Structure 1
Amino acid sequence: MKIARLGDQGQEIPVVIALDSAGVERVYDARPVTSAIDGAFLSNDGIAALRTALANESLPVLDNADGLRIGSPISRPNNVVCVGMNYAAHAAESGAEPPTSPVVFLKPNNTVSGPFDAAPIPPNSAKYDWEVELGIVVGREVSYLSDVSEAASAVAGYLIANDLSEREYQLPGAAGQWTKGKSLPKSTPLGPWFVPADAIDASNLQLQTWVNGEPRQNSNTADLIFDVPTIIHHLSQYMVLEAGDVILTGTPEGVALSGRFPYIQDGDVVEVEIAGLGRQRQEFFRAAPAAQEA
């Protein structure tokens, strides 16, 4: 079962993608169960309710699904929490030592976009970069977990993300700040769907990136320095994680920051994929500066 949201921005409807009794994949309208895929849905056992509705054949097939835009599978999260430098090889290509404790930062939730939406390069950007990442969808509120073993029950599911980053804004000099480099419009494409946690082994998933069809990143979540339970337990010591929050777990080596590849240019196409979680495709364009008032 895959959970998604389809439709124009701001008008997305919830759907479930699953096999029918004949083994054919169908897109089912989930509105008989919920009007939104959000924190309230997740914390009220919404995934179980969708499974029951599928089993009872009470969800109608959405006939026009192929013609609809694919949005983020989660309505705007309350928080997008990110872990940096979580693959040793990526830390090395960034000129840093692997961290001994998770590096944590936040992205504004208004950066979230659909997985196939056109992606703007900031008007003054020279170093816009891709980052394929495994995303965790939080399913219940957690705070001050006493043990790592408690963390698994907080995971509703997993999705793919592209943590687009402007390195000139993020890193060099006194003005370089992670928040500046990670907060740009449509810089967090999510989806195309999320998969319930019990349906996928997040500890062994291949992650890949292509730019204009040429391979860039190729790694596996088995190489994470801090795994999913460790990340959730650690974050719970410093913040309240809420149902519907999304946690990005870090990117592997193969980004433009390494110096091996050019940064994203106007007209480039970036594709990212995680096994079992789908594939994204963004076409990039140079955003125009805001017009000056007369």
Structure 2
Amino acid sequence: MKLLRYGDVGSEIPGLLDSEDQIRSLVGVVPDLAGDVLSDESLEKIRKLDFGKLPLVEPNVRLGPCVAGTSKVIGIGLNYADHAAETGAEIPTEPVIFMKATTSISGPNDHIEIPRGSEKTDWEVELGVVIGKKAKYVSEQDALSHVAGYCVVNDVSERAFQLERCGLWDKGKSCDTFSPLGPWLVTRDEIGDPQDLRLWLEVDGHRYQNGSTSTMVFGVQTLVSYVSQFMTLLPGDVITTGTPPGVGMGQNPKVFLKPGQTVRLGITGLGEQEQQTVAAK
């Protein structure tokens, strides 16, 4: 299934995409795409509905973040060997974890705000893993049973804030609008192998990133298990799993975002995002 949330910012309501790519409302079926609604049992009940009897939604409605109730967004750094190489970093021997503030979450087509004082705002197309069942000390073998599904994430990053301003990466990763999620939460039954997905990203029509999740250093099973050794993952939490090469910081000369640009990105089977860049007010 392709689940989504639509409506004004902060007032999104749940829906799904039917087989004809029409949006259907889930109002009255589930309260939101959050908490226990993301469990296997709840998702199976939705799957058994007659989608054709659900109310149609106007096609040009704004899409919000595809999941609600997110207690944390966990980023994984340097998880593609070729991306690590383009940034001059060594391939990590364990997953590199950082946090993104939940206030950075935005809809898939909402504007990206270039922060005040930013000179190095960058892009990163990433596979997002949405947790559906509480995960604590889970094994790799059991890890995917804790996953509700997957989504596209743009892990927007301000490199000067991240790397040149002392401390951890978080302040370069957590600005408002720096975590567009969606357009859909695609349930894991529709994704046969999360390590066989194409990722791409363009800025103003120029393709900078074109990679595959097959080149991850640490795969989804490993990441879910690994992160759960250090913190309890709750339904609605998102692990954003790293980016392939082609980020602005890796260009020669370096290229960074400025107001007035268009960013498009997507992942096979998970849909596409499109954002306009604007100056933060």
TM tier, smaller: over 0.9
Counterpart position of 1:291: none
**2: distance between equivalents of 1:80 and 1:54?**
33
Counterpart position of 1:15: 15
Q: Across the two proteins, how many residue pairs are aligned to each other?
A: 279
Instruction: Return the match for 2:71 from 67, 78, 101.
Output: 78
Instruction: Return the match for 1:183 from 151, 174, 198.
Output: 174
Could you state the TM-score of these two structures normalised by the residue count of structure 1? 0.91
Q: CA deviation at 1:44?
A: 6.9
Counterpart position of 2:267: 274
Q: CA deviation at 1:198?
A: 1.1
SS in 2 for 1:153: helix
Asked if 1 retains the 8 angstrom alpha-carbon contact of 2:106 and 2:178, the reply is yes
SS in 2 for 1:271: strand
Does residue 233 of structure 1 match 2:225? yes
Question: What is the aligned-residue identity percentage?
Answer: 41
Counterpart position of 1:292: none
Could you state the TM-score of these two structures normalised by the residue count of structure 2? 0.95
Q: CA deviation at 1:28?
A: 1.5
Q: CA deviation at 1:90?
A: 0.6
Counterpart position of 2:31: 35
Counterpart position of 2:210: 218
Q: CA deviation at 1:206?
A: 0.4
Once superposed, which parts of structure 1, at least 4 consecutive aligned residues long, lie more than 4 Å away? none
Q: CA deviation at 1:62?
A: 1.7
What one-letter code is carried by the residue in structure 2 that aligns with 1:51? R
Q: CA deviation at 1:84?
A: 0.5
**2: distance between equivalents of 1:25 and 1:115?**
17
What one-letter code is carried by the residue in structure 1 that aligns with 2:179? T
Does residue 193 of structure 1 match 2:146? no
SS in 2 for 1:48: helix
**1: distance between equivalents of 2:90 and 2:277?**
32
In the TM superposition, what whole-angstrom CA distance separates every residue of 1:188-243 from its partner, at most 9, and x where no partner exists? 00000011001112110000000000010000000011000000111111110111
Does residue 284 of structure 1 match 2:277? yes
Counterpart position of 1:88: 81
In the TM superposition, what whole-angstrom CA distance separates every residue of 1:103-134 from its partner, at most 9, and x where no partner exists? 00111111100011111101100000000000
What one-letter code is carried by the residue in structure 2 that aligns with 1:180? K
Q: Gaps (5+ residues) in structure 1?
A: 289-294
Q: CA deviation at 1:76?
A: 4.2
Q: CA deviation at 1:54?
A: 2.9
Counterpart position of 1:257: 249
Task: Out of 180-189 and 255-264, give the one that drifted further.
Answer: 255-264
Does residue 243 of structure 1 match 2:235? yes
Q: CA deviation at 1:16?
A: 1.2
Asked if 2 retains the 8 angstrom alpha-carbon contact of 1:157 and 1:194, the reply is yes
Q: CA deviation at 1:137?
A: 0.6
**2: distance between equivalents of 1:75 and 1:36?**
7
Q: Gaps (5+ residues) in structure 2?
A: none
Asked if 2 retains the 8 angstrom alpha-carbon contact of 1:76 and 1:112, the reply is no
What one-letter code is carried by the residue in structure 2 that aligns with 1:164? V
SS in 2 for 1:148: coil
Q: CA deviation at 1:153?
A: 0.4
Change (3 A) 1:44 1:279: closer
Counterpart position of 1:137: 130
Counterpart position of 1:61: 55
Asked if 1 retains the 8 angstrom alpha-carbon contact of 2:76 and 2:95, the reply is yes
Q: CA deviation at 1:176?
A: 5.2
Asked if 2 retains the 8 angstrom alpha-carbon contact of 1:127 and 1:166, the reply is yes
Change (3 A) 1:198 1:238: same
**1: distance between equivalents of 2:9 and 2:162?**
28
SS in 2 for 1:83: strand
Asked if 2 retains the 8 angstrom alpha-carbon contact of 1:141 and 1:243, the reply is yes
